[in-house]
Structure 1
Amino acid sequence: MPTMTPTQRFQGQDLLRVGRDDNYLLLAPSQGGRLVRWVHRGQDILYWPDDADWTRVAKVRGGNPLLFPFIGRHFVDGEAGRWRDGAGVTHDLPQHGFARDLPFAVSEMSEDAVSLSLTSSDLTRPGYPFEFVFTAIYRLVPDGIAVTLRTRNTGDAALPPLPYYAGHHFYFALPHQARAQSRIVMPPASRVRQQADGSLTAPEPGEPAYRLDDPRLQDTFHVLQAAGTDDVGSVRVELPARTIEIGLDSANSAPWYAVTTWTERDDSDFYCVEPWLGLPNAIHHGHGLRWLPGGTEETATCRLILR
């Protein structure tokens, strides 16, 4: 554990600072391990609202919320926020899991990297009866950042494996007027959405590129055709001010299963592009559901490079 952690005052909060000069990250470990700001050459890459409510950070639209142990909405008998385990026991678990609501510990830190960890506790076991350590590792690299999600099952190997599918929720800064001048370039993928009962729509053929004002992108999961291989490729988000390339190659990494696209309103000055390890409600339909035996761990890394 570091003895000293550099901080910076922002919106009345003391946030953890990683980096130097005009290339740095600001994070809030006690607020779900949230990445709040990513500043590159003095410019904010992520959106964060000026009027953010720091009493309810989990609900703030901005930065990069960490999604664990499950992504999105899960259902039991049509009721959202619940899931049923293999023994038939039903558990309550909020949308996107609990990670974004709980404090993380700073487990390692250097001038250009930080590891933030969430450990199973009495707060997590009622809705998710497994022992784990979930870690997010942010590292500044030339012209970007590398982000690793590491999940370790700290339970006994004789117990049932831990189910999970984690992910990111990057809010990229983009004035809403510029959506028509922006686009996303995708690797081969099919389009899927979640229906009101938690089931999935039939896959539709994806396009190689979309303008960001294309309604087909809203609340859409782009299921990567190469998921599970070492050649997933990358997603390119072409904005007027910059291009963000999100590398998803899965060598030495758990495979990214899908990329989700979303924004809140027509006048929202952000656009979300979210690498996910599975699809919402995968605990029941299995699409992207991962099982981790006791005493083992796996990581999933993506690299965000600015062009």
Structure 2
Amino acid sequence: MATFQNQDILEITQGASLLRIAPQAGGRLLSWDIDEEQVIYWPDDADWSQPAKVRGGNPLLFPFLARHFVDGQIGRWRDAEGVVRDLPMHGFARDLPFAAELDAAGGGVTMTLTDSDATRTAYPFGFRFEATYRLADAHTLDVALTTTNTGDAPLPYYAGHHFYFALPHTQRGETTLELPPTQRRHQLADASISAAEPGETRYTLDDGRILDRFHLPEGTLDRPVRIIAPGLNRTITIDLQRPGSIPWYAVTTWTLAPESDFYCVEPWLGLPDAIHNGFGLRWLAPGATETAALRISVAADT
């Protein structure tokens, strides 16, 4: 174990690449540095009394992501029998400790969360949820979310990532996001999902049309997502078509405020309130396992 911000964490290195991970804090990837420069953002003044609320790293979103509502109340969902249960926004995984196991070569870690008394009231299903991070090389990070239904009833879920990519807010206007052909949608105040509107394949990150928006592929995500940041001399490529992966449903773009020095690009398996509206809701049969994988590569612009 290493110490970071007075916390015991895991560090994984590959050449000039450094991952910091806190299994006990929701299996959180805290930061990814290359040549001592942040790729995944983590604040210097993080409040470790409530790590799930820190704006940074990559919170793991499970079993549901984003906002779900019952009768206008956020953080509630209704099951097929009509029972209403409390479940926090983005699910409970980011609030709970994960068990961690480093791989034999030391280049990666798999963290595991299973059902317990802490989960069954909100989500009465047997599950094993695993997050794997592995440095393929000094500029390439492989990430996988694996979900297994360990119970005897079909398991509903839609998981996702919440990557905080480091970017000075003054550089949003010169930083571009490239996407495959998509349609844009967003969540309305009544929890419903807006009608689809045509998306574009290129935006700048100061474009208000992509703030808190879901980009749904037209067909498959057959081209990678790219963040091109000339001010950082950096291009980040997110490959969402990995061998053996189930399909990602959408990519969400969001940031907190005009002065935030990060921008979030978030691969999701479903849309907010999918447990009620069905957009991306996945049902996993008893005993079944499936994995959603991606690869993030960082290259210096020349």
User: Which of 58, 78, 93 pairs up with 1:64?
Assistant: 58
Which sits farther off after the overlay, 244-253 or 255-264? 244-253
Map 1:106-125 to 2 at 5 A. 106-110=100-104, 111-125=106-120
Q: Which amino acid is the alignment partner of residue 223 of structure 1? A: L
1:85-112 CA-to-partner distances (Å, cap 9, x unmatched) read 1111111100000000000001443411
Aligned partner of 2:131 among 129, 136, 148:
136
2:162 alignment counterpart? 169
1:195 matched residue in structure 2: 188
Match of 1:293 in 2: 285
In structure 1, give the amino acid aligned to 2:140: G
Instruction: Provide Cα deviations, 1:216-253, integer angstroms capped at 9, x if missing partner.
Output: 010000011224xxx53210011122110000115411
Structure-1-length-normalised TM-score: 0.94
Matched residue, 2:148:
152
TM superposition shift of 1:76? 1.0
User: Aligned-pair distance for 1:126?
Assistant: 0.4
Instruction: For 2:47 and 2:26, locate their aligned partners in 1 and report how far apart those are by CA, in whole Å.
Output: 14
Residue 263 of structure 1 aligns with which residue?
255
Identity of counterpart residues, as a percentage? Answer: 56
Cα distance in 2 between the residues matched to 1:205 and 1:21: 42
Displacement of 1:136: 0.2
Give the distance between the partners of 1:172 and 1:153, measured in 2 at CA.
Answer: 32
Unmatched 5+ residue regions in structure 2?
Answer: none
- Check conservation: 2:186, 2:213, Cα contact below 8 A: yes
Separation in structure 2 between the aligned mates of residue 139 and residue 104 of structure 1, nearest angstrom: 17
- Distance in 1, Cα, partners of 2:5 & 2:132: 24
Q: What is aligned with 2:86?
A: 92
Q: Amino acid of the residue matched to residue 124 of structure 1?
A: T
Distance between the aligned counterparts of 1:8 and 1:115, measured in 2? 17
Q: Deviation string for 1:195-217 (max 9, x for gaps)?
A: 11210111000001000000001
| CA gap 1:167/1:185 in 2 versus in 1, 3 angstroms | same
Structure 1 stretches of 4+ with a deviation exceeding 3 A read: none
Select between 12-21 and 114-123 the one with higher mean Cα deviation. Answer: 12-21
**1:273 has 2:268 as partner:** no
- Kindly indicate whether residue 12 of structure 2 is the aligned counterpart of residue 22 of structure 1: no
Provide structure 1 residue ranges, at least 5 long, that are not aligned to the other structure.
1-6
1:195 corresponds to which letter in structure 2? L
Cα deviation for residue 79 of structure 1 reads: 1.3
Q: More deviation in 29-38 or 16-25?
A: 16-25
TM-score normalised according to structure 2 size: 0.95
Q: Secondary structure at the match of 1:31?
A: coil
Q: Deviations along 1:257-291, whole A, 9 cap, x unmatched?
A: 00000000000000000000000000011010000
1:45 alignment partner, SS class: strand
Q: Is the CA contact 1:147–1:303 (under 8 Å) kept in the aligned structure 2?
A: yes
Contact in 2 for aligned 1:232/1:250 (Cα 8 Å): no
SS of residue paired to 2:209: helix
Between the aligned partners of 1:283 and 1:224, the Cα distance in structure 2 is: 20
Contact persistence 2:14–2:135 (CA under 8 A): no
Match of 1:74 in 2: 68
Total equivalences in the alignment? 295
Amino acid corresponding to residue 182 of structure 2 in structure 1: A
TM-superposition CA deviations, 1:144-197 (whole Å, max 9, x none)? 1010000000012xx2x1000000000000000000110100011100000112
Tell me if the contact between 2:242 and 2:295 (Cα under 8 Å) persists in the aligned partners: no
